[in-house]
Amino acid sequence: MAYPYQLGFQDATSPVMEELLHFHDHTLMIVFLISTLVLYLISLMLSTKLTHTNTMDAQEIETIWTVLPAIILIMIALPSLRILYMMDEMNNPLLTVKTMGHQWYWSYEYTDYEELNFDSYMIPTTELKPGELRLLEVDNRLILPMETPIRMLISSEDVLHSWAVPSLGLKTDAIPGRLNQTTLMSLRPGLFYGQCSEICGSNHSFMPIVLEMVPLKSFESWSSSML
């Protein structure tokens, strides 16, 4: 989950999010390189009275500052496309879970074997127990097995919503009349928090998502207890 004064991403819980973290580091490094260069050149220009006002052409530098940015863009594009295709890989999910966005809660359906569905409403601030997180806790969490690929099918029953869990690198729009798919794979057990990420009305900020990742055996005994 997010914490106060946080500057960077949340710790990665899925392999894809780890890749995204490293890609962001790579791209930010390039951003710092270019920004430092530009800042240096601007301060250089501001700190001299020397001028040169009769330049007609400068083929060499024009070549350099065309080719170098092209190379830098390729250096950004190649890892970017690698991760894009990695996110689309078929990985034989063990489980399919459907989530529907509503105003203003999420509902979850596990229909692979039996019919299990429930709604997930935010716990109001006045009803929180000590230690619980304000505006992030829900009454019924999405409970899933850890270390297994899971297919999430995401849609909406009314307006646009977006199902996001930053720590797993997930954000998929919930669009009425459309079924969007994403794959989820958590490397660790625990609780992972997210919030609705598409404006959907007055309680858009009050329909969080909580994933509870547990071992497969715990997941199986929980799901059979729910039926």
- Contact residues: other proteins, CB under 8 A: 12, 18, 21-22, 25-26, 28-30, 32-34, 36-37, 40-41, 44, 48, 50-52, 140-141, 143, 146-147, 187-191, 212, 214-215, 218-219, 221-222
Could you tell me which of 226, 207, 216 has the C-alpha nearest to residue 144? 216
Q: Cβ distance 106 to 120 under 8 Å?
A: yes
Residue 224 CB, nearest approach to other proteins (Å):
11
| Tokens standing for residue 219 | 């997941």
**CB 178 within 8 Å of CB 160:** no
For the bound state, the minimum distance from the C-beta of residue 141 to other proteins, rounded and expressed in Å, comes to 6
User: Judged by CB, which is closer to other proteins: 118, or 159?
Assistant: 118
Q: Which positions ≥6 away from 137 have C-beta within 8 Å?
A: 122, 123, 128, 208, 210
Give 109's contacts (C-beta < 8 A, 6+ positions apart).
97, 98, 99, 100, 115, 116, 117
Decide whether 178 or 188 has the Cβ nearer to other proteins.
188
Q: Work out how close the CB of 202 gets to other proteins at its nearest, in angstroms, rounded to a whole number.
A: 28
- In the complex with other proteins, the residue whose CB is nearer, 141 or 151, is 141
Q: Least CB distance from residue 83 to other proteins, whole Å?
A: 15
- Is the Cβ–Cβ distance between 104 and 206 less than 8 Å? yes
> Would you say 18 or 173 has its CB closer to other proteins?
18
CB of 94 to other proteins, least distance (A): 16
